C-alpha cells in the first residue's frame, strides 16, 4: 500500500471554491478500484492549509488516478486558488 500526503496553502478568498472542487475530486477518486482511502483535511491552526491523505493499492493505481478524467480536469484548477503547493510526500505502509 502507498500513501500520499499532498498539501496546499489556499488563498484566503478562495477557500470555499477550493473545497468545492476538492470535494468533487475526493468523491470521484474514492470510486477508483485502486483507491483504499482518500480524504481532504483542513488545518485547525491555519484554515488556508489543506491536505489530501490518500491510500492506494499500488503504483499502478496511482498512475491510473493521475490520468483519470476527474484528476486531469480538477487538479490544474487548484493552481489559481493556491498561494503555494507544498511538496507531495509518498509513504509505503510497513507491516508491524
What's the pLDDT score for residue 93?
A: 86
Our CA angle for 16, 26, 47, nearest 5°, is 35
Our CA angle for 35, 38, 39, nearest 5°, is 175
Cα separation, 60 vs 79, whole angstroms: 25
User: Tens digit of pLDDT for each residue in 3-25?
Assistant: 999 999 999 999 999 999 999 99
Q: By the 8 A CB rule, do 3 and 93 touch?
A: yes
CATH number at residue 77: 3.30.70.100
Predicted model pTM: 0.91
Q: Show the low-confidence residues of the chain (pLDDT under 50).
A: none
What's the pLDDT score for residue 95?
A: 83
Domain of residue 15, residue span = 2-92
Specify the number of domains making up the chain: 1
Amino acid at each position: 500500500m502507498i500513501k500520499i500526503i499532498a498539501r496546499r496553502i489556499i488563498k484566503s478568498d478562495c477557500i470555499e471554491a477550493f473545497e468545492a472542487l476538492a470535494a468533487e475530486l475526493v468523491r470521484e477518486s474514492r470510486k477508483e478500484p485502486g483507491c483504499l482511502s482518500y480524504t481532504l483535511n483542513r488545518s485547525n491552526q491555519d484554515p488556508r492549509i489543506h491536505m489530501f491523505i490518500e491510500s492506494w493499492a499500488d503504483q499502478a493505481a496511482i498512475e491510473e488516478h493521475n490520468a483519470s478524467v476527474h484528476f486531469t480536469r480538477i487538479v490544474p484548477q487548484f493552481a489559481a486558488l493556491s498561494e503555494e503547493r507544498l511538496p507531495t510526500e509518498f509513504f509505503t505502509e510497513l507491516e508491524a
